[in-house]
């Protein structure tokens, strides 16, 4: 999937993946896509909740070897 920005939150626990996502989205333009990698399994539900509550869209969540990749499109 194409993306405009990415960052790696591997090894970070709740709530850091969410807080870093929020910060990363802050300087992006509407419609741009952020790629985020995390290893905190709690992030799967948290990212969805973040998207639901902020209006950004979680395009996809992929899991491979205990690592989660999220694509979030900015509102």
Partner 1 sequence: MSKKMAIIATKGTLDMAYPPFILASTAAALGYEVQVFFTFYGLQLLRKDLSNVMISPLANPAMPMPVPMPVMVQMLPGMESMATMMMKQKLKKHGVASLEELRDLCLEAEVKFIACQMTVDLFEFDKSEFIENVEYGGAAMFMGFAGDTDICLFV
Tell me which residues touch partner 1 (CB under 8 A).
11-16, 18-19, 21-22, 40, 50, 53-54
- Shortest gap between Cβ of 57 and partner 1 (angstroms)? 15
Q: Which is nearer to partner 1, 2 or 74 (CB)?
A: 74
At 49 the three-state DSSP class reads helix
Our answer to whether residue 14 is catalytic in this structure is: yes
Beta strands in the chain (DSSP E): 5-9, 33-38, 57-64, 67-73
Which backbone phi and psi does 60 adopt, to 5 degrees?
-160, 160
- Shortest gap between Cβ of 30 and partner 1 (angstroms)? 16
Residues recognised as catalytic: 14
């Amino acid at each position: 999937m194409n993306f405009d920005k990415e960052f790696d939150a591997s090894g970070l626990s709740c709530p850091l993946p969410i807080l870093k996502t929020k910060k990363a989205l802050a300087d992006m333009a509407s419609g741009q896509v952020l790629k985020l990698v995390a290893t905190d399994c709690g992030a799967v539900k948290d990212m969805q909740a973040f998207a639901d509550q902020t209006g950004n869209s979680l395009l996809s969540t992929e899991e491979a070897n205990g690592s989660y990749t999220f694509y979030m499109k900015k509102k």
